DNA sequence: TACAACAATAGAGTATGGTCTATAGTTGAT
DNA sequence: ATCAACTATAGACCATACTCTATTGTTGTA
């Protein structure tokens, strides 16, 4: 599919998709047989990747971190051990985020309690 | 205390503290009796606030959101009902973040499983 | 063949959240 | 009195992650 269809499937703008492509997160393929244009073609895996990118972004991962994860899963850039290390690293950082969120929840609940009891 | 001491107590640079002050998150007081300088003085509540700001930032809240929470707790800018609404709103967004993190964990664990079993 | 809708590329512009520099003045110990 | 260490203010600069504009070229339908 071309970028417009990819955009419609993922809900991301063509600008954003091109930005992710420039950032190395996804990669379209140009058909060398066609000489009249240099349009990029995208497959279903790219749709998957973009969905993953959106999810990963909303939990706070940076483009760089997301790139590492994509490389650890879809590409042959790393050895098996390196891949596992990267993914474990990300799992640890998610555990950390969870802990911080739980702490923040506690704190906000305390705030609420203070508001309810006119202690602030 | 002056800004340097505040900086040492919180681990935040004086620049960052001044940035937060400009952003309306904290507020020092100038001693009008002293006419030779216009130094700002900070209290223990400001230390607390800065610690809260650091925690809130690391769970992904924006400066604006953090400002709302601080206003909902420390200030009289909002009614009791508005304060509770703001805090509940933030609790909901934390629940959402938790859900997303759990999903992401699942996905990364699947990735790991694929790596371990040479499925990618 | 005209033309709307699409494509690629380069580069400018925006928002957020800092971070740093320059300047000018103040304080406190020696 | 000197001077290092502090203070305030203004504004420049930076990184991240987009977002938009301008330009040029292509495709497909009427």
For every residue of B30-59, DSSP letters joined together read: E-TT--S---EE--HHHHHHHHHHHHHHHT
Token output for A3: 């970028």
What are the domain boundaries of chain B?
Answer: 1-63, 78-120
How close A36 comes to chain B (CA, Å)?
Answer: 35
**Chain B: residue nearest A89 by CA?**
B108
How close B43 comes to chain A (CA, Å)?
Answer: 17
- Tell the burial category of B78 from Cβ atoms under 10 Å away from its Cβ (0-12, 13-18, 19+): middle
Is pLDDT above 90 for A59? yes
* C-alpha–C-alpha distance, residues A93 and B18, integer Å: 30
Coil/strand/helix, residue B29? strand
- Please give the CATH number for the structural domain made up of A1-63: 1.10.1660.10
How high is the pLDDT of residue B41? Answer: 98
Match 């802990």 to its residue by tokens: A99
How large is the average pLDDT for residues B84-111?
A: 97
Angle at B36 between CA B33 and CA B37, to 5 degrees: 90
Give φ, ψ of B7 to 5 degrees: -60, -45
Q: Which of B73, B94, B95 to mutate to test binding with chain A, by most A CBs within 10 Å of its CB?
A: B73
The beta strands (E) that lie in B59-112 are given as: none
pLDDT tens column, A27-56: 999 999 999 999 999 999 999 999 999 999
Give φ, ψ of B13 to 5 degrees: -70, 155
Coil/strand/helix, residue A26? coil
Output the CA–CA distances (angstroms, integers) from residue B109 to A25, A70, A87, B45, B102, in the order listed.
20, 14, 8, 42, 11
Helix (H) or strand (E) holding A29: strand A29-30
Q: CB neighbours of A69 closer than 8 A, spacing ≥ 6?
A: A52, A56, A61, A86, A87, A90, B108, B111
A90 close to B108: Cβ distance less than 8 angstroms: yes
Q: Which of residues 36-75 of B touch strand C (CB under 7 A)?
A: 36-37, 39, 57, 62-64
Confidence at B49, pLDDT banded by 50, 70, 90: very high
pLDDT tens column, A93-109: 999 999 999 999 999 99
Confidence at A75, pLDDT banded by 50, 70, 90: confident
- Tell the burial category of A45 from Cβ atoms under 10 Å away from its Cβ (0-12, 13-18, 19+): exposed
For every residue of A51-99, DSSP letters joined together read: HHHHHHHHTT--HHHHHHHHHHHH-SSS-HHHHHHHHHHHHHHHHHHHH
Report how many Cβ contacts below 8 Å link chain A to chain B.
90
Helix (H) or strand (E) holding A40: strand A40-41
A105 close to B92: Cβ distance less than 8 angstroms: no
- Name the closest nucleotide to B35, judged by C1' and CA: C26
């Amino acid at each position: 599919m071309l970028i417009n269809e990819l955009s419609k499937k993922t809900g991301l703008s063509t600008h954003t998709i091109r930005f992710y492509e420039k950032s190395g997160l996804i990669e379209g393929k140009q058909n060398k047989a066609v000489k009249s244009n240099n349009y990029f073609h995208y497959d279903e895996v790219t749709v998957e990747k973009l969905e993953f990118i959106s999810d990963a972004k909303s939990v706070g991962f940076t483009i760089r971190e997301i790139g590492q994860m994509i490389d650890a899963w879809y590409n042959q850039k790393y050895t098996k051990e390196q891949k596992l290390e990267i993914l474990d690293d990300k799992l640890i950082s998610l555990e950390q985020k969870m802990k911080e969120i739980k702490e923040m929840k506690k704190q906000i609940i305390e705030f609420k309690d203070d508001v309810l009891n006119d202690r602030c």
